[in-house]
Structure 1
């Protein structure tokens, strides 16, 4: 079951591009992994591997906000389900402390999926690989990505550590939405800063990877 789930996760990662699985993932064998498996939620709106916006001067903030809100809702829905399955009023458990190592373990695997896309981006065997100046842009994007992803994970751990997280759900929904929105904006700004040739060769490589996985 664990390998099958991981295979589905890889396919989902390829379909959604840089914004990796929004539903919480816990690797097999870690505390809460069976519950997380049952609570896995898939985005209804498929995110394109290409940029969401038409150009860097005209970022489609409305569409980004829609994607970000759905991403945040999926994240919280999976977390609420996970906490509901693990919470037992008869037992005294510090779920936040118990789940933190499991969530961080899942986070490390999610990051390996990002590195897979990163390798496609840096590949030199494409017709139009990154130029030195575009490589500099890529490193800036990587820094932004890592910082935002760390914030998302920290907020995730904070949510499961709350004594009554459901009472603060709206606050966390807004915060998660903001972080996912930032992730989408930074990615669009990076992709749309590439030359047309590099951008096309990269997104075409992502598309071919997706088709092979299907």
Structure 2
């Protein structure tokens, strides 16, 4: 297979959404990356670069829930597709491929690591002193808390994805995984909104403008 020129759209989406990959994503060159690419499902509606909610007291849980549910459905759909496709090509009698979660674990972990490198890049834009309105010391503390919670939630999403692939009959637990992934994606959005809405209007605008500029350059 030749190298594909354009990377997954989700890598550009990270700059604008901070929710990271909803569909399963495996970096090129890792085991299963071509199948994951074929099973990629894009979001119907892109999450806005700014906060979803009007203010930190009135978080828009309905809208965040809609985004989270769609992200969860795409994650499960891509995992189902990936599992079905690789099962057709892997030898059924090979003990190493009995547990697909364990077999592809390193690939999923590589995907999570790559996603977080993009998120870290976004975070460095946030902490940059070169913006017109850099963060105050208090806002820097909040940014670090948001960064840590984001990494922890993304780790849980990756672990749950590995668990799904290890299931013998995951479709029998479809709703369970939808609910769990929805919870994790909802947490990502809530933590992001709470942080963005804690920034001053000037700092928030400076940050979102910088993200938009980076996204436009990437495209």
TM-score by length of 1: 0.94
Structure 1, unpaired ranges of 5+: none
**C-alpha contact (below 8 Å) 2:11/2:115 kept by paired residues:** no
Aligned length: 213
Alpha-carbon separation, structure 1, partners of 2:184 and 2:11:
22
Alpha-carbon separation, structure 2, partners of 1:7 and 1:77:
17
Matched with 1:114 is: 119
Matched with 1:12 is: 13
- Cα RMSD of the aligned pairs, angstroms, is 1.6
Per the alignment, in what secondary structure is the counterpart of residue 6 of structure 1?
coil
Matched with 2:23 is: 23
**C-alpha contact (below 8 Å) 2:128/2:134 kept by paired residues:** yes
Matched with 2:108 is: 103
Alpha-carbon separation, structure 2, partners of 1:12 and 1:192:
20
Alpha-carbon separation, structure 2, partners of 1:90 and 1:158:
21
**1:210 shift after superposition:** 2.1
Per the alignment, in what secondary structure is the counterpart of residue 71 of structure 2?
helix
**1:50 shift after superposition:** 0.1
1:132-177 CA-partner distances (Å, limit 9, x unpaired): 1100110111111111111111111111111111111110000000
Structure 2, unpaired ranges of 5+: none
**1:10 shift after superposition:** 2.7
Moved over 6 A (4+): none
**1:6 shift after superposition:** 2.5
Range moving further from structure 2, 141-150 or 184-193: 141-150
**1:195 shift after superposition:** 1.0
Alpha-carbon separation, structure 1, partners of 2:3 and 2:65:
33
Range moving further from structure 2, 23-32 or 5-14: 5-14
Matched with 2:63 is: 63
Per the alignment, in what secondary structure is the counterpart of residue 54 of structure 2?
coil
**C-alpha contact (below 8 Å) 1:31/1:98 kept by paired residues:** no
**C-alpha contact (below 8 Å) 2:23/2:75 kept by paired residues:** yes
Range moving further from structure 2, 82-91 or 171-180: 82-91
Q: 1:123 to 1:90 in 2, by over 3 A?
A: closer
Matched with 1:33 is: 33
**1:191 shift after superposition:** 0.5
Matched with 1:139 is: 144
Q: Select which of 127, 135, 150 maps to 1:130.
A: 135
Per the alignment, in what secondary structure is the counterpart of residue 47 of structure 1?
coil
Matched with 2:85 is: 85
Residue 152 (structure 1) aligned with residue 151 (structure 2): no
Alpha-carbon separation, structure 1, partners of 2:78 and 2:3:
17
Per the alignment, in what secondary structure is the counterpart of residue 87 of structure 1?
helix
Matched with 2:49 is: 49
